[in-house]
């Protein structure tokens, strides 16, 4: 299994265009602190790749990854589809950027598909430009080939019912209806190796516990260092958990769970307020003592 890390930042990227906080200012001065929106590329078969989430940075992310470059024919691209882990704008707006494709497959849960297609109106918007084919993302223990004759199989574990703001629940509808946020489970049937990718994580259900226990690599939501970070940074009155992201540190932080695993463990989806944006921050040493890494843009993971 070959994975390419296309980006590792939460919404807005690092630096965020309208922010002059310490981390964003540092990223403008030191290029190695820059991070694009969190996304992954998965090699399904020779010459065929799927993007996990389509971000506003998708054009630059493809250009920075030679495996995703077009060729050998003039208008041929190895990018054949997108897998969505949720319906947030930061993970879906890039679909519109792919309008030049002759056709594109989008794999998502029913809730995410309906939000992107009907609430964002991407189906109607892109119809004059390209053909979008929608496929159901298998969850609740099921898995299926990522592409025809691909050894990579995908399945998903629901981890949150948090809806994006533009898809607020209808008063007549249960607010917790639908698989709105999922962790993606990727299995190479040739080698038996497995990766779990969860850039947004609002809860830690037993099914996720089972999935990471069997995984060889776990790439997890590292949006906030601790629960109080959003309030401390004064951009929200809510804590990390109330915003749909389990924090890294603290008594119920995800670092404690990851420390017990034998898999390779990495954090992604860092908010611009997260001290881990600074490569010299002491929090990196805290994670290193636990055997946990912070993913970097452009990183290649071979399993």
Whether the per-residue pLDDT at 175 is higher than 80: the answer is no
Average pLDDT, the chain: 94
Domains for the chain: give ranges and CATH numbers.
Answer: 2-168+176-302 (3.60.15.10)
Residue 156 in 3-state DSSP? strand
Backbone angles phi, psi at 175, to 5 degrees: -65, -25
173 — pLDDT class (breaks 50, 70, 90): low
Burial class (CB in 10 A: 0-12, 13-18, 19+), 41: buried
Task: Give residue 174's pLDDT.
Answer: 54
Whether the per-residue pLDDT at 187 is higher than 80: the answer is yes
For 38-59, how does the pLDDT look when each residue is reduced to its tens digit (9 = 90+)?
999 999 999 999 999 999 999 9
How remote is the C-alpha of 129 from its chain's centroid?
A: 26
- Over range 98-106, report the average pLDDT: 95
232 — pLDDT class (breaks 50, 70, 90): very high
CA separation, residue 62 to residues 80, 100, 123, 125, 130 (Å): 13, 14, 23, 23, 19
Residue by residue, DSSP assigns 177-225 as: -S--EEEEEEEETTT--EEEEES--S---HHHHHHHHH-SEEEEE-S-S
In total, the chain counts a number of residues equal to 303
* CA atoms of 129 and 22, how far apart (whole Å): 41
Burial class (CB in 10 A: 0-12, 13-18, 19+), 29: exposed
Find the Cα–Cα–Cα–Cα dihedral 261, 157, 4, 55, rounded to 10°: -130
For 58-72, how does the pLDDT look when each residue is reduced to its tens digit (9 = 90+)?
999 999 999 999 998
* CA atoms of 14 and 294, how far apart (whole Å): 15
pTM assigned to the model: 0.96
176 — pLDDT class (breaks 50, 70, 90): low
For 113-172, how does the pLDDT look when each residue is reduced to its tens digit (9 = 90+)?
999 999 999 999 999 999 999 999 988 778 999 998 899 999 999 999 999 999 987 665
Task: Give residue 75's pLDDT.
Answer: 85
- Over range 212-224, report the average pLDDT: 98
Residue carrying structure tokens 């099921």: 142
The percent of residues above 70 in pLDDT, for the chain, comes to 97
């Amino acid at each position: 299994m070959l994975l390419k890390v296309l980006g590792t930042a939460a919404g807005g990227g690092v630096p965020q265009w309208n922010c002059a906080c310490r981390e964003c200012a540092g990223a403008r001065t030191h290029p190695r602190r820059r991070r694009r929106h969190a996304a992954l590329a998965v090699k399904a078969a020779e010459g065929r790749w799927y993007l996990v989430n389509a971000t506003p940075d998708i054009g630059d992310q493809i250009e920075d990854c030679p495996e995703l470059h077009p060729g050998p024919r003039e208008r041929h691209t190895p990018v054949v589809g997108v897998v969505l882990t949720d319906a947030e704008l930061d993970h879906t707006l890039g679909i519109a950027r792919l309008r030049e494709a002759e056709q594109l497959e989008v794999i998502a849960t029913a809730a995410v598909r309906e939000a992107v297609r009907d609430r964002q109106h991407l189906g109607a918007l892109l119809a004059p430009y390209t053909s979008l084919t929608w496929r159901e993302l298998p969850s609740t223990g099921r898995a299926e080939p990522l592409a025809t004759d691909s050894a990579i199989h995908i399945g998903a574990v629901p981890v949150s019912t948090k809806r994006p703001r533009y898809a607020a629940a209808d008063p007549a509808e249960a607010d917790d209806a639908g698989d709105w946020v999922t962790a993606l489970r990727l299995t190479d049937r040739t080698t038996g190796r497995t990766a779990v990718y969860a850039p947004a994580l609002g809860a830690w259900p037993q099914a996720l516990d089972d999935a990471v226990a069997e995984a060889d690599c776990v790439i997890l939501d590292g949006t906030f260092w601790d629960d109080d970070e959003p309030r401390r940074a004064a951009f929200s009155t809510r804590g990390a958990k109330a915003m749909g992201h389990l924090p890294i540190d603290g008594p119920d932080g995800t670092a404690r769970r990851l420390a017990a695993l034998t898999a390779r463990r990495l954090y992604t989806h860092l908010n611009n307020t997260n001290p881990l944006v600074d490569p010299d921050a002491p929090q990196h040493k805290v994670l290193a003592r636990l055997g946990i890494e912070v993913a970097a843009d452009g990183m290649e993971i071979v399993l």
